[in-house]
């Protein structure tokens, strides 16, 4: 796959806790249950008239695996019959009702989670509305939260015009300045009020779409000639090394530990911490962007099952592969790099390229030698000068375009290193 650049995130989502009291919690629960009933009735009506069939078919992508293929066939049959299965609250939680002992839940705990998952407290933003939303409004001056009550619940209002004002405030520490810029300009902001029954906490999520720009082409990236940071994702650490504009390493590689064990929230936090350390390293060395490989393990699980069998060796290989969070790593890195003013790109590990083949032919015909060319000489007419590898002091590998005798990072050839573009806002 040829090199390509990755655009900035298309949106942002932030969260803050709502420290509600008993009265606020009762009002939010009644409103969420009322709107949830109407939302489920609307979905059922859309299914009856066939408005959701096309949307379900768009998500039926080709997959690999006999078991998944059978499940896909059932879904396709339901779509063809116009009765796709939709579970408000989640199919996994519904199945847990019949296996409470395995899920570690009591009937009361399951009921609490089920009712919380079926609450609907969401308001899409509107540009031009006060602070970007008519239904759920957050005042940027004091952080107060006001919601518009449905008509049957207007008797619960504690503010004029059927509004209810919560007794708590929100601050939005993360991306606060971007949120303030939008609400003060009355640009659309979506709000979601969520309840976590496991922690017995209420949260307010704010989300919005960001302005998108066309990313630069690889040719423009190469023309920038900026210093970059190459990052290699491994099962238990991140390996990073600074590169000059020609793709040669500067200094020694840096290892960032990454322990991805424990619950999902703990793993995600440790992954964020490792990526933040990499971004800080890029800023420390004046790098304009971050370079990674587009590691995809779609076929690795099937390959490991076929070549290594289903014994301990194959299971160990598949466990290692599935433990590498490639997709989440890319998304987290893209967001952190964007907000720090860095740009990065993703590249799949290539095979032998056309440039490598031309080098082999020239060396075989005597057009170029295996050693470094003396300083000050030029290439023959019609031949582009290319750096060649040699052995420096202590047996370390060096190149004619890099005077520092530092080892090449991670055993990766130069053709696997790529350039990126500074800031892609």
111-139, pLDDT tens digit by residue?
A: 999 999 999 999 999 999 999 999 999 99
What range defines the domain where residue 305 resides? 216-370+385-425
Domain harbouring 264, CATH code: 3.30.420
Q: How confident is the model at residue 340 (pLDDT cuts 50, 70, 90)?
A: confident
Q: What whole-number distance in Å separates Cα of residue 151 and Cα of residue 71?
A: 42
Q: Is the pLDDT of residue 172 over 90?
A: yes
For residue 384, the 8-state DSSP code is -
- Give me the percent of the chain exceeding a pLDDT of 70: 67
- Kindly report whether the global pTM for this prediction surpasses the value 0.85: no
Q: How confident is the model at residue 47 (pLDDT cuts 50, 70, 90)?
A: confident
DSSP reduced 3-state for 8: coil
Of the three residues 156, 185, 209, the one that is the final residue of a domain is 209
Q: Which stretch, 220-234, 284-298, 377-391, has highest mean pLDDT? A: 220-234
Q: How confident is the model at residue 221 (pLDDT cuts 50, 70, 90)?
A: low
Q: Is the pLDDT of residue 169 over 70?
A: yes
User: Is residue 4 domain-resident?
Assistant: no
Do 122 and 105 lie in one domain? The reply is: yes
Based on the structure, what is the number of domains in the chain?
A: 2
DSSP reduced 3-state for 318: helix
Do 198 and 176 lie in one domain? The reply is: yes
Q: What whole-number distance in Å separates Cα of residue 136 and Cα of residue 124?
A: 9
Beta-carbon-side half-sphere exposure of residue 120 (alpha carbons within 13 Å): 15
Sign of the CA dihedral running 62, 65, 68, 69: positive
User: Is residue 76 domain-resident?
Assistant: no
pLDDT top residue among 134 and 212? 134
For the ranges 251-255, 276-280, 336-340, the lowest mean pLDDT is seen at 336-340
Do 158 and 221 lie in one domain? The reply is: no
Do 193 and 309 lie in one domain? The reply is: no
Which residue blocks in 84-217 are alpha helix, DSSP H? 91-96, 100-103, 107-117, 176-184
Q: What whole-number distance in Å separates Cα of residue 373 and Cα of residue 365?
A: 17
User: Is residue 173 domain-resident?
Assistant: yes
Do 146 and 29 lie in one domain? The reply is: yes
pLDDT attached to residue 408: 34
Kindly tell me the burial class for residue 211, based on how many C-beta atoms sit within 10 Å of its own C-beta (0-12, 13-18, 19 or more): exposed
Alpha carbon dihedral 285, 287, 291, 292, in 10-degree steps, equals 40
Encoded tokens for 147: 């919601």
10-20 pLDDT, tens digit per residue, is: 888 999 999 99
Q: Is the pLDDT of residue 105 over 70?
A: yes
Do 254 and 341 lie in one domain? The reply is: yes
Do 145 and 205 lie in one domain? The reply is: yes
Q: What whole-number distance in Å separates Cα of residue 246 and Cα of residue 228?
A: 10
145-159 pLDDT, tens digit per residue, is: 999 999 999 999 999
pLDDT attached to residue 37: 93
Do 199 and 309 lie in one domain? The reply is: no
What's the mean pLDDT in 240-250?
Answer: 88
Q: What is the mean pLDDT of the chain?
A: 75
Q: How confident is the model at residue 333 (pLDDT cuts 50, 70, 90)?
A: confident
Do 188 and 261 lie in one domain? The reply is: no
User: At a CB cut-off of 8 Å and minimum separation 6, what does 102 contact?
Assistant: 96
CB contact at 8 A, 301 and 318: yes
CB contact at 8 A, 292 and 233: yes
pLDDT attached to residue 79: 73
pLDDT attached to residue 76: 79
CB contact at 8 A, 265 and 271: no
CB contact at 8 A, 44 and 38: no
Of the three residues 209, 228, 255, the one that is the final residue of a domain is 209
54-91 pLDDT, tens digit per residue, is: 444 444 444 445 667 787 788 778 777 766 778 888 88
pLDDT attached to residue 307: 58
Q: What whole-number distance in Å separates Cα of residue 266 and Cα of residue 145?
A: 30
Do 398 and 256 lie in one domain? The reply is: yes
Q: What whole-number distance in Å separates Cα of residue 30 and Cα of residue 23?
A: 11
Which residue blocks in 199-263 are alpha helix, DSSP H? 218-224
Encoded tokens for 267: 């793993």
Do 139 and 34 lie in one domain? The reply is: yes
Q: Which stretch, 360-364, 393-397, 420-424, has highest mean pLDDT? A: 360-364
Do 343 and 420 lie in one domain? The reply is: yes
**CA proximity to 165, closest of 200, 139, 204, 202:** 139
Q: How confident is the model at residue 302 (pLDDT cuts 50, 70, 90)?
A: low
pLDDT top residue among 24 and 318? 24
Q: Is the pLDDT of residue 50 over 70?
A: no
Of the three residues 183, 209, 235, the one that is the final residue of a domain is 209
Q: How confident is the model at residue 390 (pLDDT cuts 50, 70, 90)?
A: very low
Q: Is the pLDDT of residue 405 over 60?
A: no
What's the mean pLDDT in 410-416?
Answer: 36
Q: How confident is the model at residue 348 (pLDDT cuts 50, 70, 90)?
A: very low
pLDDT top residue among 385 and 216? 216
């Amino acid at each position: 796959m040829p090199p390509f650049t990755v655009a900035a995130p298309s949106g942002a989502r932030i969260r803050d806790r709502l420290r509600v009291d008993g009265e606020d919690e009762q009002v939010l629960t009644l409103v969420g249950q009322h709107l949830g009933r109407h939302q489920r009735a609307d979905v059922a009506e859309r299914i009856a008239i066939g408005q959701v069939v096309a949307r379900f078919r768009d998500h039926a992508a080709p997959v690999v695996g006999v078991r998944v293929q059978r499940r896909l066939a059932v879904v396709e049959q339901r779509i063809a019959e116009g009765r796709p299965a939709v579970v408000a609250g989640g199919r996994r939680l519904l199945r847990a009702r019949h296996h409470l002992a395995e899920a570690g839940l009591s009937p009361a705990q399951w009921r609490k989670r089920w009712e919380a998952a079926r609450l609907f407290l969401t308001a899409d933003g509107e540009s031009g509305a006060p602070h970007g939303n008519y239904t759920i409004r957050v005042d940027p001056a004091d952080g107060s939260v006001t919601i518009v009550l449905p008509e049957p619940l207007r008797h619960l209002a504690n503010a004029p015009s059927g509004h209810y004002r919560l007794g708590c405030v929100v601050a939005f520490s993360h991306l606060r300045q971007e949120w303030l810029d939008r609400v003060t300009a009355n640009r659309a902001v979506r709000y979601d009020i969520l309840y976590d029954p496991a922690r017995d906490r209420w949260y307010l999520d704010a989300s919005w779409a960001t302005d998108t720009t066309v990313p630069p082409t690889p040719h423009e990236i190469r023309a920038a000639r900026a210093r970059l940071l190459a990052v290699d994702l491994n099962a238990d650490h991140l390996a990073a090394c600074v590169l000059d504009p020609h793709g040669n390493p500067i200094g020694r590689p840096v290892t960032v530990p990454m322990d991805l064990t424990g619950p999902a929230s703990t793993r995600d936090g440790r992954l964020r911490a490792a990526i933040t350390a990499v971004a800080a390293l890029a800023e420390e060395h004046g790098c304009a962007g971050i370079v990674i490989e587009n590691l995809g393990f779609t076929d690795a699980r099937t390959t490991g099952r076929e070549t290594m069998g289903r014994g301990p060796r194959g299971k160990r290989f598949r466990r290692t592969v599935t433990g590498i969070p490639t997709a989440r790593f890319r998304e987290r890195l893209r967001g952190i790099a964007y907000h720090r003013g860095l740009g990065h790109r993703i590249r799949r590990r290539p095979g032998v390229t056309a440039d490598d083949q031309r080098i082999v032919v020239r060396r075989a015909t005597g057009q170029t030698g295996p050693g470094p060319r003396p300083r000050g000489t030029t290439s023959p007419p019609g031949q582009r000068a290319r750096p060649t590898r040699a052995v420096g002091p202590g047996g370390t590998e060096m190149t004619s375009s890099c005077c520092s005798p530092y080892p090449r990072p991670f055993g990766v050839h130069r053709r696997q290193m790529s350039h990126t573009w500074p800031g892609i806002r």
